[in-house]
Chains A and B, each alone.
Chain A
Amino acid sequence: MINLLHKSFKAFAIYASILLLASIPIYFLVVDWIWVNEIDEHHLHVKEKIALQLSQSKLDAASLEESLAFLNALNTGIQLTPSARNAVIDSNFEYYKTPQESSIGEEERIRGLKSTFATPNGNFDLVVETSFEEANETFLFIAMVTFFFLIVFVLGLLILQNKLNKQLWQPFYDTLHKLKTFDLTQKKPLAFSPQNIIEFEDLNQSLQLLTQQNISAFQQQKTFIENASHELQTPIALLRSKIDLLRQTEAPSSDLVDAIAKIEPLLSRVSRINKNLLLLAKVDNEQFNSSEKLELSAFISHSLTLFEDYIEAKSISVKTHFVENTSLTTNEFLLETLLHNLISNAIKYSDPNSEIQLETSSNGFSIKNEGHEPLSSEEIFLRFKRSTAAETGSGLGLSIVQEICNKYHWQINYRFENKQHIFAINWT
């Protein structure tokens, strides 16, 4: 995985390198061509000037010969000698002088013009030679300059990238950050500050709409669950009262006794599931928004008293370790519900004669009960995910616990250590 900005930078850098490297031979060919052309043109000028001067010269043959000898001895790159041949078309030539042949002791690239022309003073042979830059040197200089600019370009690109692009993409990263912190249960749609870049504004508005729709779908689902379970309350109440009346039958047949005994726990379970669904849908409702300072250890003790019969029936020993002053500000009903669910679970899934430990600390509490195998910590809080085949329970107890923790931003963790199931809640 690579960063978006890094990716665009890489593409730019590769493109620039290819382009600049490919330009080196082209520059070279162009520069060399210009050189050669210019030199050839210059040689022609020289030839024409000499031809003109010779045509107008009033020198006699002897002094002309003397002058030519003097000129050729100067070694200016021009060799002018009288010729017996007829005038021919000019020809250009090129050759390299080895360092030994060169007057300056280095390899030299020579371009020359060879011409035989006619004047009123007779025909002449002319050779004009000019030393100029060797091809490999031209190539080297162009390559060096190009490399220099390539480096300057890439460095510049890097700096611009960091400054300009980061600035340019900042709104995108801001949006990404906000999206990461989005929590459906908080029921707050994402809010963005207005952008003057069309794409970002478009993205933000789409996200805002999407989160709003999500929240309303989530809300509708909750309302549906609430309404559905509310509608079920009355028929369940009626069923229960019918069973209560049926139980009053004088001298019931064994079939009836059997049927009642089987219906009763099922009805209890339906009733509990329905109550829990209703609660689950309502946990973050306004009706549970009132809160007061409550003493946690007192609530735990109350819960243990309430369930003492079930604890005694399994001969479970309960060890409590309370630190002083564990007050927290929360809703009484929700705290009670949370503790009842956790404690009743621990009792229900404990073996007879085992031990349950309850501990409070200044910022949380934990409950431990003995077990044989760890539960799946990913699935444990899911609705209707029951860890055992036990037919009681609503399958919603821990979901409710989690929902209550979510409401107050408490951390709830499950772990299995030393053959103990441990549920720990932390608030800060």
Chain B
Amino acid sequence: MKILIIEDETLLATDIEAYLNQSEYKCEFAPNISVAQDKLSNHEYDCVLLDLMLPDGSGLSVLESLKAKTRNEGIIVISAKNSIEDKVKCLELGADDYLAKPFHQAELAARIHSVIRRKKFSGNDLFRFNEIEINLQSKSVSVANSAISLTRKEFELLLFLISNKGRVLSKNALAEHLSGDFADMFDNHDFVYAHVKNLKHKLRQHHCDQYLKTVYGVGYKWEA
């Protein structure tokens, strides 16, 4: 999968690349609009990460030109501006998702995963990981063809973990994914542990391999 990161903060761009699974994703960088337009006119990408505030103008112009050309890239806007108007405007201009800075890399990875899934495999709601089959439409999961009943949160958690396979995720990142942006108002995210425990238990009951590991003191990891 090819990803174009349009972001003038090169440190952040290289961090995003470093976090994403390199066997799966290939990242290219554009620090400004002109480089971005140049790259977009010569190459096709699976996903474009777009910062709105760029040295030579607003990222909205990139959105507009992509929309005008009816391109197929999934577009995720990453912006320091966290306002509903901005978000609505970006989504209207054809962005697939909008993520406010600062974000957890895990959250971005999950969004990229989800956008590419929708764009690339449109019409196909099934998503597999080894013996686990996830139906995104009906939000149901089965292990080796036997259905598991998961709560909504457990389902979200499973999808989030698989989207970040091979990466250690903090309790905070999981809490924010499940409870939204306001999770950082709380100091105690112990409920994440309860959800993880339940999910592990249900998977074990269905003789699923133990992919979900607790990394002591750091967080959780889905071992690929």
**Which residues does A use to contact B, with CB under 8 Å?**
230, 233-234, 236-242, 244-245, 247-248, 252, 254, 257-258, 260-261, 264-265, 268-269, 271-272, 275, 278, 282, 287-288, 290, 306-307, 309-310, 312-313, 332-333, 340-341, 344, 347-348, 390-394, 397
A-B contact sample (17 more), CB < 8 A, given A244-B173, A306-B182: A230-B80, A236-B102, A238-B9, A240-B105, A244-B105, A245-B19, A248-B167, A257-B216, A257-B218, A268-B184, A290-B85, A307-B179, A309-B175, A309-B195, A344-B182, A348-B185, A394-B185
Contact A313 B167 (CB under 8 A): no
List the A side residues contacting B182 at CB < 8 Å. 306-307, 340, 344
Across-interface contacts of A244 in B (CB, < 8 A): 15, 19, 104-106, 170, 173
Number of A-B pairs, beta carbon distance below 8 Å:
122
User: B102, A271: Cβ atoms under 8 Å?
Assistant: yes
B148 within 8 A of A: no
Q: Would you give 22 A-B contacts (Cβ < 8 Å), ordered by A? A: A236-B101, A237-B12, A237-B80, A237-B102, A237-B103, A238-B12, A240-B103, A244-B106, A245-B105, A247-B219, A248-B167, A260-B217, A269-B184, A278-B82, A307-B182, A309-B179, A332-B84, A333-B84, A340-B182, A340-B185, A391-B187, A392-B186
Q: Which residues from chain B contact A268 at a C-beta distance below 8 Å?
A: 172, 184
Within 8 A of A (CB), among B196-222: 216-219
Find out whether the CB atom of B186 lies under 8 angstroms from the CB atom of A344.
yes
Q: Are A247 and B168 in contact (CB under 8 A)?
A: yes
Q: Does B35 contact A (CB under 8 A)?
A: no
CB–CB B15/A245 < 8 A: yes
A201 to B84, CA, bound (A): 46
Q: Which of B12, B168, B175 contacts A234 (CB 8 A)?
A: B12
Q: Do A233 and B102 have beta carbons less than 8 Å apart?
A: yes
Q: Does B18 contact A (CB under 8 A)?
A: yes
Q: Is the CB of B101 within 8 A of A234?
A: yes
Report B-chain residues with C-beta under 8 Å of the C-beta of A248: 19, 167-168
Q: B82, B84, B218: which contacts A247 (Cβ < 8 A)?
A: B218
Q: Judging by beta carbons under 8 Å apart, are B82 and A275 in contact?
A: yes
CB distance from B166 to the nearest CB of A (A): 9
Closest chain A CB from B81 CB (angstroms): 8
Chain B residues with CB below 8 A from A333, complex form: 83-84
Whether B172 pairs with A312 at a CB distance below 8 angstroms is no
- Residue in chain A with minimal CB distance to B186: A310
A347: nearest residue on chain B (CB-CB)? B186
A344 to B181, CA, bound (A): 12
Asked if residues A392 and B187 are in contact (CB atoms below 8 Å), the reply is yes
Partner of B104, one of A240, A242, A312, A397: A240
* A379 to B: closest C-beta gap in Å: 20
The CA of A390 and the CA of B83, in the complex, are separated in Å by 29
Given the complex of chains A and B, what is the CA–CA distance between A110 and B46 in angstroms?
133
Q: Number of contacting residues on B, CB 8 A?
A: 44
Question: Quick one: CB contact mask for B132-146 with A, threshold 8 Å, 1 for yes?
Answer: 000000000000000
Tell yes or no: B68 within 8 A of A by CB: no
Kindly report which residue of chain B lies nearest to residue A251, judged by CB atoms: B215
Tell me how far the C-beta of B209 lies from the nearest C-beta in chain A, rounded to whole angstroms.
21
Tell me if A313 and B190 are in contact (CB < 8 A): yes
Tell me, yes or no, whether B123 is within 8 Å of chain A by CB.
no
Cross-interface CB contact of B15 among A242, A257, A341, cutoff 8 Å: A242
Nearest CB on A from B194, distance (A) = 8
Complex Cα spacing A129 to B143, Å: 146
9 A-B pairs closest in CB distance: A392-B187, A237-B102, A309-B191, A244-B105, A241-B15, A257-B217, A233-B80, A237-B101, A268-B184
The reply to whether A252 and B218 contact each other, CB–CB distance below 8 Å, is yes
Looking at A237, A244, A261, which has the most chain B CB atoms within 10 Å of its CB? A244
Also in contact, A310 and B12, with CB within 8 A (given A245-B19, A248-B19): no
Q: Across the two chains, which residue of chain B brings its CB closest to A271?
A: B102
The answer, yes or no, to whether B117 is at the interface (CB within 8 Å) is no
> CA–CA, A340 to B184, complex, Å?
12
Chain B residues with Cβ under 8 A from A341's Cβ? 185
Chain A residues closer than 8 Å to B12, beta-carbon distance: 234, 237-238, 241
Asked whether, in the complex, the Cβ of B82 is within 8 Å of the Cβ of A309, the reply is: no
- Residue in B102, B104, B187 with the greatest tally of chain A CB atoms within 10 Å: B102
Tell me the bound Cα distance from A347 to B189 in angstroms. Answer: 13
Residue of B nearest to A250 (CB): B168
CB neighbours (8 Å) of B187 from chain A are: 265, 348, 390-393
For B180, give the chain A residue with the smallest CB separation.
A306
Give the nearest-CB partner of A236 in chain B: B102
Q: List chain B residues, Cβ under 8 A from A340.
A: 182, 185
Shortest C-beta distance, A122 to chain B (Å), equals 130
B184 pairs with A271, CB closer than 8 A:
yes
Known: A234-B101, A258-B217. A309 touches B178 (CB 8 A): yes
**CA–CA, A268 and B178, complex, Å:** 16
For residue A237, which residues in chain B have a CB less than 8 angstroms away from its CB? Answer: 9, 12, 80, 101-103
- Chain B residues numbered 43-71 whose CB sits less than 8 Å from any CB in chain A: none
CA distance A240 to B170 in the complex (A): 11
CB distance from A371 to the nearest CB of B (A): 18
- Inter-subunit contact B18/A245 (CB<8 Å): yes
Determine how close the nearest CB of chain A comes to the CB of B130; give it in whole angstroms. Answer: 22
CA distance A307 to B181 in the complex (A): 11
Which residue in chain A gives the minimum CB-CB distance to B191?
A309
Partner of A241, one of B105, B169, B178: B105
Q: Is B16 an interface residue (CB 8 A)?
A: yes
Give the complex CA separation of A271 and B192 in angstroms. Answer: 21
* Cβ contact within 8 Å between B188 and A313: yes
Tell me if B153 is interfacial: C-beta within 8 Å of chain A.
yes
Q: Encode B70-102 as 1/0 by CB contact (under 8 A) with A.
A: 000000000010111100000000000000011
Contact B84 A309 (CB under 8 A): no
Q: A332 vs B83: C-alpha distance in the bound complex, in angstroms?
A: 11
